[in-house]
Structure formats: structure tokens, C-alpha cells
Amino acid sequence: MSSSSPLFGDLLLKLGIVTPSQVQEALALQPRTGQRVGEALISLGYVTRAQLHDALSEALGLNHDKGPAHPPLGELLVGLKYITLGQLEEALAFQRKDGRKLGEILVEMGHCTYRQIYEALSLQGRITGRQEAPRQVLQGHHRVMVVDDSPLACDFVKEGLEALGLGYEVMCFQDPYEALEQVGKVQPAIVLSDLDMPGIDGLELCWRLKESPSRQVPVIILTANDSEAERVKGLRAGADDYVNKSASMAELSARIESVMRRTSETERMRKLFARYTSDAVVEEILKSPDTVVLTGEKREVTVLFADIRNFTGLAESLPPEQVVGVLNQVLGRLSDAVLTCGGTLDKFLGDGLMAVWGAPVHRTDDALRALQAAKMMMTAMVELRQAAQAEWAANERLGRPLVLELGIGINSGLAVAGNIGGSMRTEYTCIGDAVNVAARLCALAGPGEILAGERTRELVSHREMPFEDLPPVRLKGKQQPVPLYRVL
């Protein structure tokens, strides 16, 4: 009898685990999902995996005289998913005829390997000799999340990794849905997932992880099915590696270390870029490195310069530590606007900043993003002034706050983007006429004013952005007057 047989439902009824209507519902679900009766009952939430295992053990007439401290070899092999229940039944039938050892029969039939038999026997011995006192877990080296619906498989990996003495902290989840919910809280360094699980399999779990905020967590698929097709599926789902369950713990640990080295390098790049650009741009860089320019290339960019007005007066009227505090507060809000709109923070310029859209990653709406960032900056300055006024009103002894204003210049055009500098120090920036014009427009902008160049206006003409035409101006280094527009 197996969990795929309708008679198995009768056994569950006899044990009082389910009701007749629940069995009927599971049987009706079978043709649509292809699940076994037991799996259908689990997916419907009527039984647990432990209850199903107990019922299967009784159906197979397995010996429980030794109690849970010494589980039979067949149950361990099924629990580790090295063999199926049908293969175990077949081997037990042969064993009753000739009396040979179960492991020899299973290997002879080709259902498993000697290595898998030895691993199951090793686990059996560890379970038998397990002490009741809780084992001390070494903290800190790697936190590993194991996701496998088999409690035996979870125990096998947990005890095997911890026994290496390398400081693994292993946390096991038998429900893949629970693992997805808890991954943010657990914050594992790596996830080891079984391939075949009820509800969602390892490929789906991997895909969901890679599409979640925990996308940076590496995933290794563990499975007894080591076919090339399955490996390809796992890797395409985003898995970082694919390890057969018959592999030794030493090999599994080596794979974990290898994946962790690659991941730490990627994380180092992520943190490096995140200091200068938005998370969205960082993800784009890591996913599509071919679109990134870091060496030097001409491309169209939109450049924004922002400068704080009246800052010299502020610096003269306040102690140095307060000047730095105010400057950090203002520049922090301005840089937040740049990163929120997907720009690259090129550099801070004393009491201002330079930001770029279009490098290192180009988007079709770069000019629009720059204008949106400029408006967010102006809104941030209004909020900071209101907060300062409220603070002064609450405590007039602070002295009336100095009113800070912002001037912004935006221009689009061709520029050279890349690493500029020497062997000792290099910075990523943009240089060219379009950058110079943006800086000149920023110098011309009055308090609370956003000035834009002609190309920027052209790039957003289809968006019905409000502009006011201003008289053309002569700029240093330009022979002809430059068209000028005020962003309303």
C-alpha cells in the first residue's frame, strides 16, 4: 500500500486522522494535480507530514519496537528521498523471501547506491546515540537555512554540517512557505533547498527568493535527482549551485564556501555602487554588466548641479560642528532625491552636488528623472525651512534660523563617462560641454529656481512639462547665446 492508493485513504480513516469528506475531496483533487492521496491531504491542510509518515509506517508493517531512537533503515532512506515507498515495498518483499539485508537488495535493484546506504546507517547511528542534552551551536561563521519537507533530511544536513566544526549555524524549515516568510527575519547567509516538495518545489522557492527583497541570498539546490535537465532548470531558476544529496558533507561544505566567496564579491560591488547610485541602478549593473560603462565612452547624459544659496552667511554665524550638521542634513535630502529618481551621485561640491542620469546605466527617461529629482530637492528645502522655523518658534533662544535656498541647473547632451584620474586615485565622472553648461546654469539660477537647457526640454517635450522661455544667455566658453528655460 502506498500514499497513491485509495486504500491509503481508508487507512487514514481507520486511524481517525481524517474524515470521509476530506478523503473524497483529496481524491477529487488527484486528477487535476496528479498528487498522491497523502500529498493532496497535506496540501489541503487536513494532515501533517508527520501523521502521513506514521500512517505509511503502519501500512508497511514496519517495526517500531526500537522506538524513535532507532528508526529502520528503510524509513531513513525514504525520509532522505533516496528511494520511494514503492521501491521500499518491492525490496521488503524480496527480503521476506531470501532474508538478505535490505541495503544489499536495494543496491542490487539499482534503487540507491552504497554511499547512500552508508549515509543512512550513519544517520541511524547518530540518532541512536543522540543525547537528550541540547547540542551547543557555534555562532557566527555561516547561518544556513535548510528547506526540506523531510525531517530526516533536515536532521542529516544539520548534524552533518555542524559536525564539521566550522561554525555553521543551521536552521531547518520543513514548510517552504514558512521559509519564504521567515527568510527576512532569519537573514541566512545561504539557503539549501530540496528540489521535490509539496506545495512549491525547490525551483519555485528559488525563483521567489530571487524576486524578493532577499534576492542577494545565494541558493543551493539539494536533490537525489541529478539529471542534466534538472540541473539546467535549477540554474535557470536562479540557483547558485546544484548538489546531489549523495555528496559528502565535506563536498557540500566546499560548495557552500565557493558560493559564499562569489556572493561576498557581488555584495562588495553592490555596497560600493550603492554609495553613489540608487538600488535600482545597482541591480541593473549587477544583472546587465554589458550595459555599464566604466572605462570611457561618449554617451548622452543629463547632468544636474545643485548649490545651496546663503551658505557662506550660515558658515560665519554658526560653530563649525553645527555648520557640518546643517550641511549634512541638507545634502542628505538632496542626495536622497537623486537616488530615489535613479540617478548617480557624481560628487559633493562643498555646499552643493553634481548628479548624472544616463551613466553608468542609460534609460530612455533620464531627463525626466533629473527634473523630478530637482522638484523633490526644492520640496525638501521647503520642508527643512519649515522645520527650522518650528524649532525656532518653540525655543527663541536658538536664534532666528537663517533661510537657506537652492539653485539648480540641468542640461542634457553628449559627455565622456568613465574613470578619470591616475594610478593612486580614480573617480567615475562625466566630462564635456554638456556638463559645463549645466554648471553655468546652476550658477545663474536664483534662489528656488530650476534652469534647464534646450536639449533637456526636447527630451521631455512629450510629457507636457511646464517650462517658461527665458532670453538666451551668453555663457563662458560658448560663442553663441544659449537657449534658457525655467522649470515651473
Domains 142-273 and 279-487 share a fold: no
Taking alpha carbons only, the member of 376, 370, 371, 372 closest to residue 358 is: 370
Whether 219 and 240 have beta carbons less than 8 Å apart is answered as: yes
The residue type at 445: A
Taking alpha carbons only, the member of 171, 241, 178, 166 closest to residue 205 is: 178
Give CA–CA dist 397/251, Å, rounded.
69
Whether 145 and 174 have beta carbons less than 8 Å apart is answered as: no
pLDDT value of residue 447: 92
Encode pLDDT of 230-266 as tens digits.
667 767 777 888 888 778 888 888 888 888 888 776 6
Q: Is residue 69 exposed (0-12), middle (13-18) or buried (19+ Cβ within 10 Å)?
A: exposed
* β pairing state of 168-173 and 142-147: parallel
**CB atoms inside a 10 Å sphere around CB 230:** 17
Whether 127 and 171 have beta carbons less than 8 Å apart is answered as: no
Which residues are CB-neighbours of 262 under 8 A, at least 6 positions away? 218, 240
pLDDT value of residue 145: 94
Report whether CATH 2.60.120.10 matches the domain 279-487: no
Give CA–CA dist 477/467, Å, rounded.
25
Class assignment of domain 142-273? alpha beta
pLDDT value of residue 66: 41
Give CA–CA dist 363/369, Å, rounded.
9
Helix (H) / strand (E) element for 243: namely: strand 241-244
Residue 233's SS3 state is helix
Encode pLDDT of 129-168 as tens digits.
543 333 333 344 578 999 998 888 888 888 888 888 888 8
Q: Is residue 157 exposed (0-12), middle (13-18) or buried (19+ Cβ within 10 Å)?
A: buried
Whether 343 and 370 have beta carbons less than 8 Å apart is answered as: yes
pLDDT value of residue 162: 86
The residue type at 289: P
Q: Which residues pair with 237 in a beta bridge?
A: none
Instruction: Read off the pTM.
Output: 0.50
Range list of β-strands (E), 118-212:
142-147, 168-173, 190-194
Whether 367 and 460 have beta carbons less than 8 Å apart is answered as: yes
Please state the domain extents for the chain.
Answer: 6-128, 142-273, 279-487
Instruction: Please list the ranges in the chain whose pLDDT falls under 50.
Output: 1-4, 6, 62-69, 130-140
